Every structure is written in structure tokens, then in C-alpha cells.
Structure 1
Amino acid sequence: MLEKIKAVIFDLDGTLVDSMWLWKTIDMEYLSEKGVAVPEDLDTFQEELEGMGFTETAMFFKERFQIEDSLEEIKDTWLRMSRDKYCNEVSLKPGALEFLKELKQRGISVGISSSNSRELITEVLRAHKIEDYFDCITTCCEVPKSKPAPDVYLKTAKGLHAEPQKCLVFEDVPLGILAGKNAGMKVCAIEDAYSKKQEKQKRELADWYVLDYFEVLEREGQKGACV
């Protein structure tokens, strides 16, 4: 899997950290605070948000639910509601730390391409003491188009001084996988409870599918792991 790879780029939520459950809770709490009825099928509603950047999601909420707050006020509220959870309740995906150490040992550059806010990305990396493993962080708010467009992955690859075809992406949802593929990169899908019902689609879109990063390390320790 890592043969001829010069850079590995991770999505954050559901890929590097186990945090997708958090946003379902925050959506419910936020809408309740605003006196807005929570969508009956919250899972389907959240699928509509996949790939959107932090600002784009705020725009979506403002328009769909007629929120009077400004975009900055909406985002600041989400940051307030999520900051403590990200730092104290969100865990790394199994084997993530060990895999980051392996990448560092091999001299492979590492980046993040996420739809989340830069503030939360920075805070969660610091909380887990892994910020030093990352050479470049890009958010969907910093590029013209969000996932499944390739923009965020291409910008991270440029920051890592790596050609797209020599980059390996880790993603947890179909739109993110498509973003990596649209960028001309290899993509490994990682299992996540939030996207379990999308497993068939994820397997079809990605080059590999793994349960966790320990499986990646195990594959890399075996001959013929990239087959």
C-alpha cells in the first residue's frame, strides 16, 4: 500500500479520530437551542452534509432552518459546543498513532484534508499530542470547492511537495473517497460506525478497505501487501 508513496493525507472526522457521533449530538442540541424541530431522519440529514466545509455547512443550516445568527455566530457556537468534546471525549482511531509513527520512521510526509474548522483540527491534534506528525493541514474552507471536488486534496499535496499520483488518502465516506480519486490519488477507505451502511459503496470506490490502522501496519509487514 505504501510502495512508491511520498505522502499520506488523512481526512479527520471518522478517519483519523472517532468523532462522527459528536456532530449528531451537536446538531440535535443546536437545533433544540434555536427552537427548531430536529429532522425526523437525522442520519439521512447528516448525509446531506457530507463533504461540505465548515462555512458551507453553516450556510446550509442558516438557509434551511432560517437561523437569524450570522455565519460567524453559527460557527462560533458550534466551536463552543464541540471544543470540550473534541479534546476530552474523542479518541484516535485504533492504530492511528502507531501508523503515524511508522510513516515518520519511513520519512513519508503527512497531511490533513478536512471539512472541519482549522481551530478544531489544531485543538484535537494537540489534545492527542500528535500535531508534530503533520506537515500540512488544509480545510475545505480554504479551497474553491468542497469534496467530492479534488481541491482540498490537491492543495494539501502541493503543500507537501508531492505529486498526486504519489499520495495515499485515507477517508471514511464516499464523497471523501471520490475527492481523493478525483485528485488522481490512491485511496484507502477505513471502517467507521457512522458510515457502516455505506460499506459496499466505499469498497467499490476505494483502492483498499481496512477495519483500522493496525490492519494497514499488518499488511505492510507482509510481502505482497499491496496486491
Structure 2
Amino acid sequence: MKLLFDCDGTLLDSMHIWVEPINKIFNKYGYSFEGLEKKEKGVIEALPLSGMVTYIAKNIAKDMTEEEVNNYFLEIVEDGYKNHLMPKDGVLEKLKDFYDHDIEMGIASSTDSKYLKLAFNRLGIDHYFTYYNTPDLLNSKKSDAKFWQSAIDNFKIDPEEIMLFDDALYAIKAANKSGIKTCGVRDFPYNKNEWEDIKKFSDIYLEGIWDFDINTLLK
């Protein structure tokens, strides 16, 4: 079994760095991001930063240019990954355990690799991952079949021999369609409204990756 990891909300305690500025700009214009239907919210969450910027400029903050919206997010995001964001409880220890047992790992994230690497290099874990599946490298979103096929092609094994750890319902559903096994990860309050569906659509589900029994991979 080879492992794929979402980053935000799964490895890093970082959802706030996206949700808070998104909520702020939605609320400013009389909208509610958290109040969106699950399907629409999932579509927006699957967008890379550039896509999020375009969506907000066209549909929410219509008096702002894309450049102005981009600058609004860019300063917050780059500073967060470079200097502040920390791993979720038990993540560093569990990743080291996987690495020490020669279990191949990759990243499957909607966040561009350049931001993830800022955080992973700071935390000393970048070398754990053999490759990154991210929008800036693939020109596709996590909701696209192409995104998951790339992961399968990189690992060079059957999809059922890959396990994805993710906290987002839309990503778990998309990975399932490709045949990849899924592990839903709890990240309250951010995925609280989706948690029952995440449990239903995931092969397994956990409070966090620290709770995963590595012995199930070593049999």
C-alpha cells in the first residue's frame, strides 16, 4: 500500500488560513461561504488559489479586480505557510513512522506546491514525499479524474493499492471514483457538517492520522 495525503486540515492545522479570509470577503458582500450547499462549497474548495481568486472577483467581490483579490490572499497565505502553520497533533510522529518503514508517500492537495514546500521544509518533512499532486504542477483540480489518474500513474500500481487521507468530502468522492482507497480525517469545526457523509463514503475514518495502525500496511 502506498499513501497519499491531503495537506490542509489533514497534515497541517491550516484550514483557518483559508476559511477566515474567505469568510471575511464573502460576508463583506452579503454572502456566507459556510452556508453554501455541500456541492457548491465542494466545487469552490477544489479550486486552486488562482481559481478561487477568479471566482471571488467574478461572483462575490465584483468591485475588486482579480489582482486586488489575489493580493488580498497572497500575503496571508505565503506568510502562513512560510512562518506560522503547524502540523496537526501526532502528524510528525506518524509520518516519520511511515518513512522509517519505507512506505512511499505523496501529496494530493488543492494548495500549490510552492506554499506546501515552504511549510514542509520548515518542519523538516519535505523529503518524506516522493512527489506532489497539486494544481500548479498538473493544471487540474482535485475534483477532476485527471488529478487522481496522475497519482495512480506516479505510483505505478493499481488504484486499490493506494490510500488517500483527506478531510474533504468532495476529494474523497473523487478519489473513490478512480478506485483509490480513502481514509476520512476529522477536522472539526471545518468538516463537521460533512462528517457523517465523509464516514459513509470513506473506506475507513479516523480522528487524525496519528490514529492509523501502521501494522495494517506491514502484513
TM range (shorter): 0.7 to 0.9
Tell me the residue number matched to 2:159: 164
Gaps of 5+ in 2: none
Q: State the SS of the aligned residue for 2:106.
A: strand
Change (3 A) 1:107 1:55: same
CA contact (8 A) 1:61 1:67 kept: no
Aligned to 1:195: 191
1:224 and 1:146 mapped to 2: Cα distance?
A: 28
Q: Encode CA deviations 1:184-203: one digit per residue, 9 max, x unaligned.
A: 11000000010012110000
Partner of 2:122: 127
TM-score if structure 2 supplies the norm length? Answer: 0.84
State the SS of the aligned residue for 1:85: helix
- Tell me, what secondary structure is at the counterpart of 1:41? coil
Aligned counterpart in structure 2 of residue 58 of structure 1, from 28, 53, 78: 53
- After TM superposition, the runs of 4+ consecutive aligned structure 1 residues lying more than 6 A away are 223-226
2:210: which partner in 1? 214
Q: Distance in 1 between matches of 2:71 and 2:111?
A: 13
1:153 paired residue number: 148
Q: Is the 8 A contact 2:23 2:34 kept in 1?
A: no
1:159 CA displacement:
2.5
Distance 1:196 1:70 in 2: 31
Which sections of structure 1, spanning at least 5 residues, go unmatched?
none
For 1:142 and 1:27, the matched residues in 2 are separated by 24
Question: Does residue 107 in structure 1 map to residue 132 in structure 2?
Answer: no
**CA 1:123/1:224 → structure 2, altered by over 3 Å: closer, same or farther?**
closer
1:43 and 2:73 aligned: no
Query: Deviation of residue 166 (structure 1)?
Result: 1.3
Paired residue type of 1:207: D
In the alignment, structure 1 residue 91 sits paired with structure 2 residue 82: no
- Backbone CA RMSD of aligned residues: 2.7
Shift of the alpha carbon at 1:142?
4.0
Give yes or no for contact 1:148–1:182 (8 Å, CA) kept in 2. Answer: no
Does the aligned pair in 2 maintain the 1:110–1:160 contact within 8 Å?
A: no
Deviations along 1:98-136, one digit per CA (max 9) or x if unpaired, are 221122122221111111122211111112111111110
Amino acid at match of 2:205: Y
Structure 2 counterpart of 1:118:
113
Does the CA-based 8 Å contact 2:10-2:208 persist in structure 1? no
| Matching residue of 1:180 | 175
Name the CA shift for 1:141/1:182 in 2 (closer, same or farther; >3 Å). Answer: farther
**Cα distance 1:39–1:177, how it changes in 2: closer, same or farther (>3 A)?**
farther
User: Are the equivalent residues in 2 in contact too, given 1:9–1:169 (CA < 8 A)?
Assistant: yes
Shift in Å at residue 169 of structure 1? 0.3
Distance 1:11 1:63, change over 3 A: same
Does the Cα contact within 8 Å between 1:55 and 1:141 map onto a contact in 2? no
Distance 1:224 1:145 in 2: 30
Q: Deviations over 1:2-28 (max 9, x none)?
A: xxx1x2111111111111112122225
The count of corresponding residues between Structure 1 and Structure 2 is 213
Aligned AA (2:95): L
The 1:57–1:100 alpha-carbon spacing in structure 2 relative to 1, beyond 3 Å, is: same
- Secondary structure in 2 aligned to 1:148? coil
Q: Distance in 1 between matches of 2:152 and 2:90?
A: 23
Query: Once the 2 structures are TM-superposed, how far is the Cα of residue 39 of structure 1 from its aligned partner?
Result: 4.0
Indicate whether 1:11 and 2:2 are aligned.
Answer: no
